[in-house]
Structure 1
Amino acid sequence: MKLKIRNINKIKTADIKLDGLTVIAGANSSGKSTVGKLLFSMVKSQANAEFLNHQSKEEKLRKRVEELYKRANGCFSRYDDAKLAEILPLPISRFIAPLVELTDKEEIKRRLGKISSWIESKDISPRIKSLFSQDIDNISIALGDSKAADIASEVRVFTESEFMNKICSYKTKESKAKLEYDNPNSFLSLEFADDLINQVYFEGDDYLSDATYVESPLYLHILDTLLYAATYQEYQTRPMMTFRGMVPIHIKDLANKLHALQMVPSGKESQSEYGLSELMGGRFAFDKDSKVLKFFSERMGMELSPINIASGIKTFGMVQILLETQVIGNDKILIWDEPENHLHPQWQVTFAELLVKLAKRGIPVIISTHSPYFVQGIRYFSAKHDLETFTNYYLAEEEEDSRLSVIHDVKDDLNQIFSKLAAPLNAIMNVDEARRNRN
């Protein structure tokens, strides 16, 4: 697989192979995380669209219309505004039924335009008007009744959450992203204009069924909080949720996957071949009585709350849970942002080998890092486990003139990565010089 990026958020240009284990190195704010969030959004959007495509046109339209009705009923009174009953009649089926039958695009545009004009005439804030505009656009997309329309609708949801409506690069009007699958005739291509999805192109039947994006192992001890949190879209569609914390979709998605461990029957552990229980001295599981996530320590012979477990153990525990819930696999990509965080250098090396083993088993893995220990660990164990051909290395570097980043292929010259990551340490190595300058 390949991911091509042009003017997306921090990244000016990137052409990235995803055919095994992919490493993107670079300094902070160099666009590494942008790659992961974009890839997550594209994979989830296409996978969700495949599901939506099996729904009827009326089912998809009803979901969008209900969002519009809910917002309108929250902002206006049907008793005080007779026009509301005319524009959005009750029951909802009186609004949906005529639209489902329409095939004339101009007539659809005219009917939805009447709603837009009415909303525009109301004395409400620009933000609320923009939310109504999104509702109407979503209805228009649903009426398209095509897979491309479903993908476009999902892309909008994910990019709003992951990029907070700022997906186009600074001072850039148009942006592009293309995900090419192993079959050269299968791809997903997106074009954005003014931070909104403009065009969707796709070909073939190949696609990844899921993506999992991991930022921090600390999610394990705030799992209940994350499950209770709301996403950006839930805030917009359910006003009563505003008292909850807000998280991007990828965090809520991960929390739900971690929580799914309680559904795994005992004795179905699928991670023993990686030696995770031995490494951690136990395993994570949900307590049968309290339904709370616990760490069952074999070394100590007791149950412990995740908050009392070292962050390094939680890092390996995340992999244990993802394997046992089967949310990563040969058609489900794992995206890990800076996995070296919370890990001692020795455990960075150990975790690097674990990721190599996952990729060796056919699980596509992409990581971002700024740790030379981690890069060297990947390099060493890729050689040891015969994965060098399918391990790719990239370096994200910011251009001085544009302040955007270009992601270079450095597989044949890893010294570029090590020189970049080691530069800050080299600059402070000469302590004697610092003393002389002080004096």
Structure 2
Amino acid sequence: MQLEIKNIGKIKSATLEFNGITVVAGNNNTGKSTIGKVLFALFSKFNNINEAIDKYKYDAIIARVFKELSTYDLDDSIILGSPALIQMFKRGNYQSSQSILKFLEGLISDRTLEFIRSNIDNMIDNSSKEIEELDVKRIKAEIISNYFNDIFDNQINNMSISESAYIDLLIKNKHIKAEFIENTCTVVQDDIKLINKAIYVDDPYIIDSRIIRSTNSLRGRNEINNNLIKLLHSKEDEEQIIEQIIAKDKYAEIEEMINLVIKGQLILKKDGRYTLKNNEYPEGINVSNLSTGLKSFLIIKKLITDNLIVNRDILILDEPEIHLHPEWQIVYAELLVLLQKYFDLTILLTTHSPFFLRAIEVFSKKYELNQKCKYYLSKIGTDSLITFSEVENTTEIYQKMANTFSILNNISDELDCN
């Protein structure tokens, strides 16, 4: 898989390959997180996008039908036009005129119900015509525009360049492309169906949170974080019982490693928060009272033990080492390498830590995955724009990270001379 980006955020250009673990290093504010946000947004919105469009169309048709019903001089016209009633109906995922009638039984008068029974099919047909004639690519472009603007807080295009922004995801010689002009998607192409999900983790405190029910105003990091919150609070799908058994065999070694840091079972309380039960805390301790480093491990534990992450999913981790002691950074790195090995994940990591970077190198070699690792370095040009280059020898990254020690050593030498 290859991702090409031009003029998104502060990035002038970037081409990255993903074949296992991809590590991106560089100074702060050099577009590393932008790579993850683009990848996350692509997989979030192009995942089963055609099915999503069918749902959008269906919702629009139903809204029109109920709105039309509310305009008639009926006993229950106010009820039929109620947004709450429409949302309740949509959540039931009803699919036919008969299901509408069944849903309304007992909610409205017999007189109103008889009127609807006589007119419902014509109403659905009339409401469908204009909606079904809409160009699918136009709908896709609107979906992508809205979501990317949510993720990038209405600043998709590079503000220093007047050229259009461009994204091209290449998978098995097939493309998913999007072009943006003035933060609006003008061109969209999807030659391949994405079925795997992307999981973006950049804040361990997420595991403390309840689900945010109202998402209309969520943007940027809040939108990304709420996606993870909903996933962590989702339930196992009983229809996937076979896959769950297979997954449990795979993560036995991974769970053993997590238990080196933290043991126990995560329990979801009635108030929507998690508690951890183990020998040390038999009555349970609220996860909010655990250290930030432990929370980082608990998120991974939750994802694998509840089968929330599956084969070939996309896992994006923005500076995962930031709350971890160097020794735990090593454990966490080995954990990620094992996740890639057993679940064939595409993992994108950004990091500032030489310990974490070295651990990825060592453990990928230990588990014979070093050929599936790619390393990139972000650079700021004289035009203040950012580009990314692949690094064949990670010494270049270590040297950049070591500059801080050189600065401190020079200051120390000057102080000693005085």
Mark yes or no: TM-score above 0.5. Answer: yes
Secondary structure, counterpart of 1:235 in structure 2: coil
Residue deviations 1:213-256, cap 9 Å, x none? 101111112x12xx23643xx139xxxxxxxx996321111001
Secondary structure, counterpart of 1:260 in structure 2: coil
Residue 318 to residue 20, structure 1, CA distance change in 2 (3 Å): same
- What is the match of residue 178 of structure 1? 168
TM-score by length of 1: 0.73
- Shift in Å at residue 336 of structure 1? 0.7
- What is the match of residue 11 of structure 1? 11
- Contact 2:340/2:347 (<8 A) preserved: yes
TM-score by length of 2: 0.77
- What is the match of residue 258 of structure 1? 232
Matching of residue 398 in structure 1 with residue 384 in structure 2: no
Matching of residue 235 in structure 1 with residue 217 in structure 2: yes
Residue 235 to residue 426, structure 1, CA distance change in 2 (3 Å): same
- 1:31 is aligned with what amino acid? G
Matching of residue 416 in structure 1 with residue 406 in structure 2: no
Gaps of 5+ in 1: 70-90, 103-138, 237-244
- What is the match of residue 136 of structure 1? none
- Shift in Å at residue 64 of structure 1? 8.7
- Shift in Å at residue 293 of structure 1? 1.0
- Contact 1:277/1:283 (<8 A) preserved: no
Residue 289 to residue 95, structure 1, CA distance change in 2 (3 Å): closer
- Shift in Å at residue 397 of structure 1? 1.1
- Contact 1:22/1:391 (<8 A) preserved: yes
* In 2, Cα distance between equivalents of 1:262 and 1:204: 28
Residue deviations 1:6-45, cap 9 Å, x none? 1111111111111111101111101000001111111111
Residue 95 to residue 317, structure 1, CA distance change in 2 (3 Å): same
Residue 344 to residue 199, structure 1, CA distance change in 2 (3 Å): same
| Among candidates 140, 152, 157, match of residue 168 of structure 1 | 157
- What is the match of residue 222 of structure 2? 248
Matching of residue 311 in structure 1 with residue 301 in structure 2: no
- What is the match of residue 322 of structure 1? 303
- What is the match of residue 350 of structure 2? 368
Matching of residue 101 in structure 1 with residue 90 in structure 2: no
- Contact 2:199/2:315 (<8 A) preserved: yes
Number of positions where the alignment pairs a residue of Structure 1 with one of Structure 2: 357
- What is the match of residue 293 of structure 1? 274
* In 2, Cα distance between equivalents of 1:58 and 1:293: 37
- 1:50 is aligned with what amino acid? N
- What is the match of residue 84 of structure 2? none
Matching of residue 189 in structure 1 with residue 170 in structure 2: no
Residue deviations 1:133-158, cap 9 Å, x none? xxxxxx8xx85342x34432321222
- Contact 1:211/1:333 (<8 A) preserved: yes
- Shift in Å at residue 281 of structure 1? 3.2
* In 1, Cα distance between equivalents of 2:125 and 2:159: 43
- What is the match of residue 122 of structure 1? none
* In 2, Cα distance between equivalents of 1:193 and 1:44: 21
Secondary structure, counterpart of 1:298 in structure 2: coil
- 2:169 is aligned with what amino acid? L
- Contact 2:2/2:15 (<8 A) preserved: yes
| RMSD (Å), alpha carbons | 3.2
Q: State the identity %.
A: 26
- Shift in Å at residue 187 of structure 1? 1.8
Residue 416 to residue 246, structure 1, CA distance change in 2 (3 Å): closer
* In 2, Cα distance between equivalents of 1:287 and 1:262: 13
- Shift in Å at residue 263 of structure 1? 7.8
Give the 5 Å matches for 1:136-151.
144-146=134-136, 148-151=137-140
- Contact 2:2/2:16 (<8 A) preserved: yes
* In 1, Cα distance between equivalents of 2:57 and 2:140: 17
Bigger Cα displacement from structure 2, 308-317 vs 261-270: 261-270
| Among candidates 252, 255, 259, match of residue 272 of structure 1 | 252
- Contact 1:187/1:202 (<8 A) preserved: yes
Secondary structure, counterpart of 2:409 in structure 1: coil
Secondary structure, counterpart of 1:38 in structure 2: helix
Secondary structure, counterpart of 1:24 in structure 2: strand
- Contact 2:157/2:165 (<8 A) preserved: yes
- Shift in Å at residue 279 of structure 1? 2.0
* In 1, Cα distance between equivalents of 2:401 and 2:149: 32
- 1:101 is aligned with what amino acid? K
- Contact 1:398/1:404 (<8 A) preserved: yes
* In 1, Cα distance between equivalents of 2:366 and 2:14: 29
- What is the match of residue 24 of structure 1? 24
- Contact 1:11/1:406 (<8 A) preserved: yes
- Shift in Å at residue 431 of structure 1? 5.2
Gaps of 5+ in 2: 69-115
Bigger Cα displacement from structure 2, 367-376 vs 275-284: 275-284
* In 2, Cα distance between equivalents of 1:171 and 1:65: 43
* In 2, Cα distance between equivalents of 1:262 and 1:327: 7
* In 1, Cα distance between equivalents of 2:374 and 2:60: 43
